[in-house]
Amino acid sequence: MRLPWPLPALLAWGLCWALFALLQPRWGLGPALLAAGLLGTLASLAGARWWRRIFIAAGFPLALLLSGAVALPAWAWLLALLLLLAVYPLNAWRDAPLFPTPEGALQGLAAAAPLAAGVRVLDAGCGLGHGLRALRAAYPQAQIEGLEWSWPLAGLCALRCPWARVRRGDIWAADWSAYQLVYVFQRPESMSRVRLQCATMAPGSYVVSLEFALPDTPASAHTVGRDGRPLWIYRLPLAD
């Protein structure tokens, strides 16, 4: 269950302070700052909005500075920025933020888009693996793969989903032609780029989008998940 705001921020800051206080006497200022900053950055993944994630990640070093408990060197702010950019790379900011696929969002997908056993299925922008798990539930006999630009997210996703092939890469530069189904959970501004990628895929394959439809393109089918989000299903070639 997602905690109401601002409890995620307060909890993350409290954990960062506790970790910093525990490690500083033993490891020194630098390693303790690094560990607490990394914890805050990872905790920021729980934020449902971009501003909340930045608020969570920046809260601990900012509070440390304002409290006067420790005089932060200039490199500490650079370190915090680098940690934030590692999880949220600049060239991925125009794509969807980290927003997990809700449980039950892909119910009915296998019936609307049947696939043969052993085909390759891609979650383009797999984040922490929620979409991969939903795809595996829908297609247990498929080869499930994930592509994620952020290397920390890709690494954590690979640990959470060891049965999937997770790679770090740019979903827009990747070749989608080898996949029988590509799943995306993007934002409205990115859907025109998804449509362009469809041109590289084989006839009879599928592109599936949670919540947002392709622009000016009738869907082959659509379902509604448990939380009411529409799932748009397109069988290629796209209809005009």
- From first to last of its 240 residues, the chain has per-residue pLDDT tens of 467 777 887 888 888 888 888 988 888 877 887 788 788 877 777 766 666 777 777 778 777 766 666 655 656 656 666 666 665 554 444 444 557 898 899 999 999 999 999 999 999 999 889 999 999 999 999 999 999 987 778 888 999 999 999 999 999 999 999 999 999 998 888 899 999 999 999 999 999 999 999 999 999 999 998 888 999 999 999 987
Q: Would you say the pTM of this structure is higher than 0.75?
A: no
Q: What is the dihedral of CA 83, 87, 90, 92, to 10 degrees?
A: 180
Q: What is the phi-psi region of residue 53: left when phi exceeds 0, alpha when psi lies from -120 to 50, beta otherwise?
A: alpha
Q: For residue 20, give both structure tokens.
A: 């910093």
> How many other C-beta atoms can be found within 10 angstroms of the C-beta atom of residue 169?
13
- Give the pLDDT confidence score for residue 90 in this predicted structure: 45
Residue tagged 């379902």 (tokens): 223
- Containing 38, the helix (H) or strand (E) segment is helix 29-43
231 vs 30, 93, 152, 218, CA distance in Å?
Answer: 47, 23, 28, 13
Query: Cα separation of 140 and 160, whole Å?
Result: 17
In the chain, the domains with their CATH numbers are: 7-88 (no CATH), 109-235 (3.40.50.150)
Cβ contacts of 87 within 8 Å, gap of 6 or more? 41, 42, 44, 45, 57, 150, 152, 153
Cβ contacts of 117 within 8 Å, gap of 6 or more? 141, 142
Contact between 16 and 60 (Cβ < 8 Å) = yes
